[in-house]
Amino acid sequence: MNALRRFLRPLQPLCSVLGILLLLYAMTRLVFWWYNHRQFPGIGFHEGLMIFLRGLQQDLVTVILVNSPVLCLSAIAAYLRPDHFLRRGLIVISRWLFTGLNAAGIALNILDVGYFQFSRHRSNLDLLYVFSDSLGSFKSVLAGYWLLLLFFTGTLFILIRTARNAIPGNRPAGKVALSASSVHTQAASRPRLALYQLLVLTAAMLITGALPRRFVLPSTPLLSLNAADLPLAQNSAFTFMYSVLRKQHQLKPVNYFPAQELASIVSTSHNMGKDGDTLQRKNVVICILESFSRCYLTPGDPMKANTPFFDSLIGKSMYFPNAHANGYTSNQGIVAILAGLPSFLDEPFFYSEYANTPLRSIGNILKEKGYDTNFFLGAGKDHFGFGKFTHMAGIDHYYSRSDFNDDRAYDGNWGIFDEPFLRFGARVLAGKPTPFLAVFFNISSHPPFTIPPQYRERFNYPDQTPAQRSISYTDHSFQTFFADCSKAPWFRNSIFVFCADHWLDPYNKKKPYNFVNPTSIPIFIYDPSRDGAVVNNTLAAQVDLTPTILELLHYKGSYTGMGKSLLDSATANNYSVIRNGDLYLIITKDFVLGYDLLREKSRFLYRHSGDDVEMNDLLEEDAQWGARTRLERLLKANIQCYDQALTRRSLE
């Protein structure tokens, strides 16, 4: 027994540090849950217990992956003589690695505490492409999330102290510390050190389920949890590493349908009739509304903002009250709106390995027809990579903060306030040859919802949130924009298209969270030459805008994308597809189905009309077998179509 105790004694400090790391991750999970609790309603004791058990599994895998370089270096140091000149250097490097890597892992989890409300999933590869552009708003982050920064500071202090104990220098015999490099006392031989490492790694892999059957993945908690609760059990460091490692294999080859059958369900190549001279050469102005949830413009909704101009404009427009986004972020929304492609990648399409896929979207087509093509964004040049994508999408002229050239109107976070920049855009358009395409992307309705000092009192409605007040300011900004544009001769020969880039949490305590609400956005189309409003109850998606605009222009020819014209009677049974973390969703007027592509199985089927909290899973109900089969077929066809188009680098 004494021999066994001596043999196992070096494992005690190892388990202590492992326990500290797991405790830190458990604390971040609690903070994540507390901060986003409204998005995870109805979780009972049993579900909560399973969340933390599955979370522990995810955390163990994360700790192993994050600390594997530390183990390797500390193992080398342990095999060197105490007086070897490399030993001290390896110990110092191992300490820094231990602190840095674990701090980064915990930082990702803390980052997602606040970022989840925007992305709707744990961190992945996309974070690399938005992080640098978001640094400009660090002051607002510091003001809004200072408690999280304080929490991270505390965890960093713990990690620094733990690193000194985990990877000690030369110590007297008997003072054994945690890691592989610490097992160097007189009682622990070098062969025994290797055995300890193997024992700990094997035990950890067995506990996490990675051996002997299959590896643990970020989607593994779905074996025990509802899909809606999956983010609670995940570890952001693990989802990020998994996303980076699988970068070159994001599009899993699928072959659900033969080519002819696939084309009859969904296609990326469309023809709107033979080429002719029927094109109405109207100007097209697309206004992409930053972070506009549909509720901000919906009369009677508790989160309705004070938007007299938009209300009036919708009253003269073709309005789609059942519109949905095909992505959760700006760099996903812009691709769906201008190129007709949903977001099935972890990273932005225009940064992916598939970025050399030729597009034939609204900008490319109108450019071919002699249109002058323009993009307006009050942020920096190529903000979020938009400069790259708009060039791919056939837009020749990009106007940004540097073109505005007056930082007195800078909001201190993202770029130029909406009103002055939109009026700048109106002046630019006044000197443009017609017809033209102009895409405006506003920024003032983005967190932290900054309003110019001269307007803060005017829009300081006491019963509204900062987001609602910023929406009111944006409404005012577009009113002045339209007032300027209406004086120009091109105004009445134009089509104005309004669509949000994505949904944003409106913090409505009365409205339940589900898989459908976070995609609900406004879409409406205004033509000054036509009188009267039209309410079109067809389910509309961002990818449907290009063919809809082309039909309004009486375009004859081809276009590419996965949308359909909303003026076509065949869209009565239209749907929207979107990827939510590890799940692919298809949303219809009545149902939402979630499909796990990795395990090739549906995870849920909810009738969201009448079941706002999505508590009644209909997936296994015989009465809904027809609906399930139809939606699975549609979703699989969309996945295969998207896969083939990008892997073949052809949307034809």
| 183-197, 487-501, 602-616, 623-637: least confidently modelled range | 183-197
DSSP 298: S
Q: What are 167-206's pLDDT values in tens digits? A: 766 544 334 444 444 444 433 444 455 455 555 555 555 5
Grouping H, G, I as helix, E, B as strand and the rest as coil, residue 595 is strand
DSSP 624: G
CB 435 within 8 A of CB 283: yes
State the average pLDDT over residues 230-237.
93
Is the pLDDT reported for residue 4 higher than 70? no
State the average pLDDT over residues 285-303.
95
Secondary structure (DSSP) of 132-172:
HHHGGGHHHHHHHSHHHHHHHHHHHHHHHHHHHHHS--S--
Q: How far apart are CA 226 and CA 221, in angstroms?
A: 9
Specify the pLDDT at position 426. Answer: 98
Q: How far apart are CA 399 and CA 401, in angstroms?
A: 7
Secondary structure (DSSP) of 234-264:
--HHHHHHHHHHTGGG-S-----S-HHHHHH
Map 395-413 to HEC letters: CCEEECHHHHCCHHHECCC
Give the tokens for residue 148.
Answer: 């999280």
State the average pLDDT over residues 90-100.
88
Place of tokens 């969340």: 51
Grouping H, G, I as helix, E, B as strand and the rest as coil, residue 78 is helix
Q: How far apart are CA 121 and CA 239, in angstroms?
A: 9
Distance set, CA 195 to CA 65, 190, 389, 599 (Å): 19, 9, 53, 36
Grouping H, G, I as helix, E, B as strand and the rest as coil, residue 535 is strand
Secondary structure (DSSP) of 400-449:
-HHHH--GGGB-SSSSB-HHHHHHHHHHHHHTS-SSEEEEEE--TTSTT-
Specify the pLDDT at position 438. Answer: 98
Is the pLDDT reported for residue 13 higher than 90? no
Q: How far apart are CA 202 and CA 444, in angstroms?
A: 52
Neighbours of 209 (CB within 10 A): 17
State the average pLDDT over residues 39-49.
84
Specify the pLDDT at position 188. Answer: 44
Q: How far apart are CA 403 and CA 374, in angstroms?
A: 13
Is the pLDDT reported for residue 558 higher than 70? yes
**Mean of the per-residue pLDDT values for the chain?**
86
Query: Cis omega (within 30 of 0) on the bond before 435?
Result: yes
Instruction: Give the chain's domains with CATH numbers.
Output: 12-243 (no CATH), 272-571 (3.40.720.10)
Q: What are 306-351's pLDDT values in tens digits? A: 999 999 999 999 999 999 999 999 999 999 999 999 999 988 898 8
State the average pLDDT over residues 287-311.
95
Specify the pLDDT at position 400. Answer: 97
State the average pLDDT over residues 145-151.
86
Give the CA count within 13 Å in the CB-facing half-sphere of 145: 21
pTM of the model: 0.85
CB 333 within 8 A of CB 501: yes
Give the pLDDT band (50/70/90) at residue 276.
low
By DSSP bridging, strand 318-324 and strand 397-399 are unpaired
Give the pLDDT band (50/70/90) at residue 40.
confident
Backbone angles phi, psi at 373, to 5 degrees: -110, 135
